[in-house]
Amino acid sequence: MQNRLKRWRALWNPDMYHGWGRDRRYFEGWYFKIVDPDQRYALALIPGIAFDESGSSHAFIQRLDGKQCTSAYHHFPAEAFQPSPEGFALQLGNNRFSASEIQLDLPELQGRLRFDQLFPWPSMLGAPGIMGWYSFVPFMECYHGVVSVDHVISGELKVYGETVDFTGGRGYTEKDWGRSFPSAWIWVQSNHFDQDAPVSLMASVANIPWIGSHFIGYIVGFLFNGRLYRFATYTGARMKASLGEKTIRLAFRDKRYRLEITAHQAGTGELVAPISGKMVGKVSESMLSEAEVRFFDNDRLLFSGTGKNAGLEAAGQVEELLTETWRR
């Protein structure tokens, strides 16, 4: 009963840990992207926990160095994974994570960073997070959440023995939980546009299993002029997707707005992904990509710019996701 109450609380606060009482075919992880003000370092830290089909479990912190295209996977015993039942706060060994700060004690990274001026994904009645009403569907293969689409960093980290001041840099935080990543997905993210006011993009398209069949689902957020414009399967938006050589083109529209994205893939590093809770999948992620973005109000161009340090993944049978014509 106590675990059910904790999961019920997490349902309405997607940032929190959702896996209370789970011990088979389950994973949960958070993705912290941090970039220093000089953009010399672009790092992703992914703390999480995984339970395979037999119940064997471990906790982990993955590290992706987007500039050097290298990664590391740090194992921890499952007992070291200590989430808070009251809100998003996680201790993993001597490492701590929350929406507003991280404290790291890894062989290659040590120090503490604070996050301010967070812009969380808005929560509404019947839609507690980025998943919309799908948050309440109990049999989804994978659930997604966005903790903050953009924030300002302060503090220092010792990176490979060198002290690096991240003050004035920018960050982004999201998360996933469930059994497995989708069979195919495209993900693009950047909040490094040459604008005075914060601009941030996150777009995800995936093949979603659904009651013996599947559908193409998408969730997109574009932060512009202090407002988060959302395009998603559950909002009635439509999409296009096509591939070129090291290029991905995505477009989304609703009755009024249209968002066009052209992502150019650069060097990648390899991350580990869950399959039925077992961390045996492989994902190539770039943090060196660029995302050209155009945003329209009907046919009037409101924004045109290029996002640097873009996260980009195209995994699995991405051909399943492509469409040259508008579709839901």
Q: Could you report the per-residue pLDDT of 65-79, keeping only the tens digit for each?
A: 999 999 999 999 999
Count: domains in the chain: 1
Structure confidence by residue, pLDDT tens digits, 133-144: 999 998 899 999
User: Is residue 187 within a helix (H) or strand (E), and if so which, with residue range?
Assistant: strand 184-190
Structure confidence by residue, pLDDT tens digits, 93-105: 999 999 999 999 9
Determine the pLDDT at residue 36.
Answer: 98
Q: Pick the more confident residue, 304 or 123.
A: 304
Residue type, 159: V
The CB-side HSE value for 307 (13 A sphere, CA atoms) comes to: 31
123: confidence class by pLDDT, cuts 50, 70, 90: confident
Distance CA 217, CA 237 (A): 11
Residue 278, pLDDT above cutoff 80: yes
Q: Cβ neighbours of residue 255 under 8 Å, at least 6 residues apart? A: none
Structure confidence by residue, pLDDT tens digits, 202-227: 999 999 999 888 999 999 999 999 99
Spatial CA neighbour of 289 closest among 261, 269, 258, 263: 263
* Domain residue limits at 308: 2-327
User: 115: how many CB neighbours lie within 10 A of its CB?
Assistant: 24
